[in-house]
């Protein structure tokens, strides 16, 4: 397989780019932030996303989606990264759609996937509990109770948790924190008794929530996949999410870089365009190289997920780690090279810096994935 987009994929990119840059430029995020919008994204735009077929991209055709792969999902994420469009796409169409298609029973798939595809159901994945992403350390307790389970514990950094119609919750049904065995995924109604959801406005003006479970009841048919054996399913879904966020960071890096190079060609000091100074030329060139290499690594991870899912772990770790360091560099250079203007809220660059910081933490930062890679390679 060639490590470039094919014709259909290029067309998808063009249509996603057209829609997103037209309907949701960075000013869209700015408006939502300034208005302290309760939803944090535009439901009308999400309807448009569904009509374009994006919301059901990863949903199998049998359940009303287009049955496309991670490369296609990554293409949309990259375009989202270019304008920082706040959207349920990641939580609902990438994570929840993957979790349900990969782990759901026929009944669960029929119940939820068509609604994800047509944009009428929003979902969120509740994994993290502490300050850092450590899925193996999941402590939230699932205790058997009658025909089902009772969930107790805390979740943090649940992307779109405040608007979700469905929560997918990782819980420990056996064993103790740190063990692979004993994790179970549950489909939970966020309105159920014993669940308290607090929206946490984040630094990047995107959406997340803290959720407290206090003996929240789930029926046996709310188990996604197998009891105690949920880690493999979770890890697969997380890998899709990691590659998707890496794609978002590629789009974000590329956009910041483009804006910065444009600025270097406009801004004059000492009677010269600042882009004439070799100190800045070389830094810009280094950043360009960094972004291009990261772009290749991310596409490699997406293709590997589509071609041989179970062997994609290393490629995904490489992609997420690289994308994190590249985006961090891109936004820092972006602000620095914009000088004082880069520090102002009026300029968009700061929005990219804030989003990059959040994307770093999502599903494991660069250090986490470097450690993962070392473990995979036994050192």
Smallest gap from residue 340 Cβ to another protein (A):
21
Using DSSP, state whether 58 is helix, strand or coil: coil
Using DSSP, state whether 84 is helix, strand or coil: coil
Q: Which is nearer to another protein, 163 or 253 (CB)?
A: 253
Smallest gap from residue 298 Cβ to another protein (A):
9
Smallest gap from residue 374 Cβ to another protein (A):
4
Smallest gap from residue 314 Cβ to another protein (A):
7
For residue 64, give both structure tokens. 């009303």
Nearest Cα neighbor of 92 from 66, 52, 120, 129 is 120
Q: Phi/psi of residue 141, each to 5°? A: -85, 135
d(CA 143, CA 216): 10
Q: Which is nearer to another protein, 115 or 133 (CB)?
A: 133
Q: Which is nearer to another protein, 153 or 334 (CB)?
A: 334
Smallest gap from residue 278 Cβ to another protein (A):
8
Q: Which is nearer to another protein, 119 or 334 (CB)?
A: 334
d(CA 121, CA 238): 20
217 and 169 Cβ atoms separated by less than 8 Å:
no
116 and 60 Cβ atoms separated by less than 8 Å:
no
Q: Which is nearer to another protein, 192 or 373 (CB)?
A: 373
Residues that bind another protein (CB under 8 A): 2-4, 261, 264-265, 272-273, 275-276, 278, 281-282, 284-286, 288-289, 292-297, 299-300, 314-315, 317-319, 321-322, 367, 369-371, 373-375, 377-379
Which residue in the block uniquely carries the two structure tokens 């770790």? 317
Smallest gap from residue 267 Cβ to another protein (A):
11
For residue 223, give both structure tokens. 């188990």
190 and 197 Cβ atoms separated by less than 8 Å:
yes
d(CA 348, CA 72): 27
Q: Which is nearer to another protein, 206 or 322 (CB)?
A: 322
Beta-strand relationship, 207-218 and 148-159:
antiparallel
Smallest gap from residue 301 Cβ to another protein (A):
9
Which residue in the block uniquely carries the two structure tokens 């050192």? 379
Smallest gap from residue 377 Cβ to another protein (A):
5
Smallest gap from residue 287 Cβ to another protein (A):
10
Q: Which is nearer to another protein, 201 or 307 (CB)?
A: 307
Which residue in the block uniquely carries the two structure tokens 């535009």? 42
89 and 49 Cβ atoms separated by less than 8 Å:
yes
Using DSSP, state whether 254 is helix, strand or coil: helix
Q: Which is nearer to another protein, 127 or 250 (CB)?
A: 250
Nearest Cα neighbor of 169 from 207, 132, 223 is 223
d(CA 376, CA 379): 8
Task: List 200's β-bridge partners, or say none.
Answer: 208
Q: Which is nearer to another protein, 227 or 261 (CB)?
A: 261
Smallest gap from residue 281 Cβ to another protein (A):
4
183 and 231 Cβ atoms separated by less than 8 Å:
yes
d(CA 75, CA 358): 20
Q: Which is nearer to another protein, 36 or 270 (CB)?
A: 270
């Amino acid at each position: 397989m060639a490590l470039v987009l094919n014709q259909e994929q290029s067309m998808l990119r063009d249509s996603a780019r057209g829609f997103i840059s037209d309907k949701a430029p960075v000013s869209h995020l700015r408006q939502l932030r300034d208005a302290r919008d309760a939803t944090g994204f535009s439901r009308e735009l999400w309807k448009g996303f569904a009509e374009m077929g994006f919301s059901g991209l990863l949903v199998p055709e049998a359940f009303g989606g287009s049955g496309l792969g991670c490369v296609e999902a990554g293409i949309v994420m990259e375009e989202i990264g270019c304008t920082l469009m706040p959207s349920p796409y990641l939580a609902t169409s990438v994570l929840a759609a993957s979790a349900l298609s990969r782990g759901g029973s026929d009944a669960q798939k029929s119940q939820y996937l068509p609604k994800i595809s047509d944009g009428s159901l929003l979902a969120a994945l509740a994994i993290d509990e502490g300050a850092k992403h450590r899925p193996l350390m999941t402590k939230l307790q699932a205790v058997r109770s009658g025909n089902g389970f009772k969930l107790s514990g805390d979740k943090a950094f649940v992307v779109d948790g405040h608007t979700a119609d469905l929560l997918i919750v990782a819980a420990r049904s056996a064993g103790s924190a740190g063990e692979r065995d004993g994790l179970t995924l549950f489909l939970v109604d966020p309105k159920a008794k014993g669940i308290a959801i607090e929206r946490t406005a984040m630094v990047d003006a995107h959406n997340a929530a803290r959720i407290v479970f206090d003996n929240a009841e789930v029926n046996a048919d709310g188990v996604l996949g197998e009891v105690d054996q949920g880690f493999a399913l979770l890890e697969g879904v997380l890998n899709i999410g990691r590659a998707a966020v890496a794609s978002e960071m590629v789009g974000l890096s590329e956009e910041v870089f483009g804006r910065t190079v444009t600025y270097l060609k406009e801004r004059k000091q000492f009677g010269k365009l600042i882009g004439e100074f070799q100190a800045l030329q070389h830094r810009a060139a280094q950043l360009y190289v960094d972004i291009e290499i990261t772009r290749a690594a991310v596409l490699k991870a997406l293709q590997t997920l589509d071609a041989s899912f179970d062997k994609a772990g290393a490629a995904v770790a490489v992609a997420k780690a690289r994308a994190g360091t590249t985006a961090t560099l891109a936004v820092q250079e972006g602000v620095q090279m914009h000088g004082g203007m880069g520090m102002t809220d009026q300029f968009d660059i700061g929005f990219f810096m804030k989003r990059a910081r959040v994307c770093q933490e999502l599903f494991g930062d660069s250090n986490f994935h470097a450690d993962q890679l070392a473990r995979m390679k036994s050192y």
